[in-house]
């Protein structure tokens, strides 16, 4: 159940967001002139590269109110294979302004969606769940993976999984400095036939063993990456349909961090689309996966 296309939001006011930096060690407060201009150029090149690879791309406009992280729509909106749309509660108050009806309507128009689950009210009581940043879904086997973090409330995660009839698998993960990892989708990515996973990030041996065993039971091949590769966004990748084929989307940073053997293994899955997004990665702390919200076409 690989998504048939991706929704992307063109950034109008992209920049470093200090409000999110405390819980995102991947963000770098680089003094980059013309960051917004550079981010738009990177975005446009990515849309062109995906389209040329045969991926269906829907491009939405940035909300009217300036939002520095609007380029990462996967944190507030997810489309399920049955067409259900889920709107998520984000931790940073400023990021909640990204949620907008025109983008939701655009997705509804191109999908089978007739049902929406709106979880935003949970933010009022300090419970957050940031979309497919917090949750990595294996739709084929109805499994949802999530690592504990300030942005991922495990009780809310479990409640959602019960409502949509998915098995909830939670664990704790830390980066190379021992800091709690902010989003699950920098630790792992689930494709049709394989899972990219940084198992080193899961310090607890029992949790690590449980997680790997759960993945193996799904029959998917494990591609293990190191902490250094994870830091270069090697797990922040996404597999999507491109016509009759499949395509893995990686940033240039992530792809170059992989070994030749790992790259060859991934090439056996289908096409590889590598995009250059250094400004977005450095200032935003997210990579290619964060920039796309998968959808299932009508």
On the 0-12 / 13-18 / 19+ scale of CB atoms within 10 A, 177 is exposed
Q: 220 pLDDT exceeds 50?
A: yes
Q: 17 pLDDT exceeds 50?
A: no
Q: Which residue has the tokens 């990219």?
A: 196
Q: 137 pLDDT exceeds 60?
A: yes
pLDDT, residue 111, reads 85
Percent of the chain with pLDDT over 70: 91
Tokens (6 digits) for 3 = 């998504």
- Planar angle of CA 138, 95, 171, nearest 5 degrees: 35
Q: How many CB atoms lie within 10 A of CB 272?
A: 15
Q: Please, what is the end-to-end C-alpha distance for the chain in angstroms?
A: 14
Lowest mean pLDDT segment, chosen from 54-68, 167-181, 205-219:
54-68
Q: 30 pLDDT exceeds 80?
A: no
Q: Tell me the pLDDT band of 23, cut-offs 50, 70 and 90.
A: very low
Please give the Cα distance from 275 to 278 (Å, whole number).
9
Fold of the domain built from segment(s) 5-295: 3.75.10
For residue 56, the surrounding DSSP H or E stretch is: strand 56-61
Model pLDDT for residues 69-113, shown as the tens digit of each residue: 889 999 999 999 998 999 999 999 988 988 999 999 999 988 877
Q: Tell me the pLDDT band of 34, cut-offs 50, 70 and 90.
A: confident
Rounded to whole angstroms, the maximal C-alpha distance in the chain is 48
Domain ranges of the chain: 5-295
Model pLDDT for residues 139-172, shown as the tens digit of each residue: 999 999 999 999 999 999 999 999 999 999 999 9
Check: pTM over 0.85? Answer yes or no. Answer: yes
Q: Are 240 and 55 in contact (CB under 8 A)?
A: yes
């Amino acid at each position: 159940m690989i998504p048939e296309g991706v929704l992307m939001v063109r950034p109008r006011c992209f920049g470093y967001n200090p409000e999110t930096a405390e819980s995102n060690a991947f963000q770098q407060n680089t003094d980059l002139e013309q960051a917004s201009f550079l981010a738009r150029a990177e975005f446009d090149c990515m849309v062109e590269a995906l389209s040329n690879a045969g991926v269906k791309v829907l491009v939405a406009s940035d909300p009217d109110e300036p939002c520095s992280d609007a380029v990462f729509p996967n944190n507030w909106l997810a489309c399920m294979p049955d067409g259900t749309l889920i709107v998520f509660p984000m931790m940073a108050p400023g990021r909640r302004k990204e949620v907008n009806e025109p983008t939701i309507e655009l997705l509804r128009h191109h999908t089978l969606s007739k049902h929406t689950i709106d979880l935003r009210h949970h933010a009022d009581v300090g419970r957050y769940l940031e979309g497919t940043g917090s949750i990595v879904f294996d739709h084929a086997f109805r499994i949802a993976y999530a690592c504990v973090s300030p942005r991922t409330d495990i009780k809310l995660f479990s409640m959602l999984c019960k409502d949509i009839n998915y098995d909830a698998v939670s664990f704790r993960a830390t980066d190379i400095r021992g800091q709690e990892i902010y989003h699950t989708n920098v630790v792992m990515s689930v494709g049709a036939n394989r899972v990219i996973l940084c198992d080193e990030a899961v310090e607890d041996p029992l949790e690590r063993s449980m997680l790997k065993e759960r993945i193996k039971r799904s029959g998917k091949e494990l591609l293990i990456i190191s902490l250094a590769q994870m830091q270069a966004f090697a797990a922040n990748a996404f597999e999507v349909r491109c016509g009759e084929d499949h395509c893995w989307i990686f940033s240039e940073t992530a792809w170059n961090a992989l070994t030749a053997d790992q790259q060859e293994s991934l090439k056996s899955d289908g096409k590889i689309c590598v995009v250059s997004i250094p400004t977005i990665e450095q200032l935003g702390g997210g990579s290619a996966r964060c920039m796309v919200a998968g959808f299932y076409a009508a």
